[in-house]
Amino acid sequence: MRRGLIASVVAVAVLASAGADSARAQSFYEGKTVRIIVGLAAGGGFDTYARVLARHWGKHIPGNPTIIVENMVGAGSLIAANHLYRVAKADGLIVGNFDGSLVLSQVLGQPGIEFDARKFHFIGATAREEVVCALTKASGITSLDKWMAATAPVKLGGILPGATPDKAGRTLKAALGLPIQVVTGYKGTSEIRLAATGGELAGACWSWESMRAAWRNALDAGEVVPIVQVTAKPFPDLPNVPLAVNLAKNDEARRLIQVAVQNVSAYARPFVLPPATPKERVQLLRKAFQETLKDPAFLAEIEKTKLTLDPVTGEELEKLVADAFTIEPALSAKLKAILYN
């Protein structure tokens, strides 16, 4: 009887403590400003998704904080990711949005990475990054056959070795034998688009979700042509564009495409909190994030902007990131040579 009474008292105390933590987290955001630090340039896909989210997320966070977006550009968003891990205050007021491909870069031992992705707190992602390669009509490469037959390497825009555009281009070169030269160092896909429009590049590979929103006019006019999908299944609006994995001639080539590009797609666009952020604030922001994804005003803006909503929860992201660290050593060495040499 006495043990039962003690257990009941302990249970009540635990519930009371959890309730107090939740109440403190809710009152904390009143009158505050939440900053979303985007690691890539303004006008690109990451920036566009973040700004749409920022306009609606605050309504669903108790206390209704103001949410602003800041761009911390450099090294393919590595500067922003390192800042979030090493410098940003873990108080729930700073959210990072960087290229999740850096997780694979950490697994492969890329120099310059100062974070451990497994220690971040993942809030969620508004979309996966299903990659498509598109080239300008002016480049003369308007089909896969023409690309295969090119007598000189086709120049694709990149951001940083290991970033999505670089990774996709280098992987396709190794797995399919496509003539490709990745020209890296652009600050984001908005700069890559400008370079392709000006004839400096033939095109690039990155998320179809953001590509068809940001490059819509050129795609509609036929000035930019999707050539290959680096995805597990085709997009409904690209029924005649081949899948890269179906073009692979052996298991090793297929595995390279799957691990380097396809598997990364789910955690490629995460919204992340620094390590040591109080758990009750992590849970509160996750809940508000999921509520925002159902907000009619948010959904209307997503549709108007021609963005795709294909969300991933914070819990799913944590598992996917943990799984990335289980890649077999031989494949890891092969990928490292392809992506960084």
Q: Of 191, 334, 170, nearest to 252 (Cα)? A: 334
CA distances from 18 to 60, 91, 236, 315 (A): 20, 18, 46, 20
The domain at 31-128+267-328 falls in which architecture?
3-Layer(aba) Sandwich (3.40)
Q: What is the mean pLDDT of residues 11-23?
A: 47
Equal fold, 31-128+267-328 vs 131-264: yes
CATH architecture for the domain at 131-264: 3-Layer(aba) Sandwich (3.40)
pLDDT of residue 44: 85
Residue 258 near residue 245 (C-beta atoms within 8 A):
yes
Helix (H, G, I), strand (E, B) or coil at 335: helix
The pTM assigned to this predicted structure is 0.80
Residue 216 has pLDDT above 60, yes or no: yes
Domain layout of the chain by residue ranges: 31-128+267-328, 131-264
Cα distance between residue 202 and residue 198, in whole Å: 9
For position 317, what pLDDT does the model report?
Answer: 96
CA 63 vs. chain centroid, Å, equals 28
- 23 pLDDT band, cuts 50/70/90, is low
Which range has the worst mean pLDDT, 34-38, 111-115, 302-306?
Answer: 302-306
As a whole number, the mean pLDDT across the chain is 91
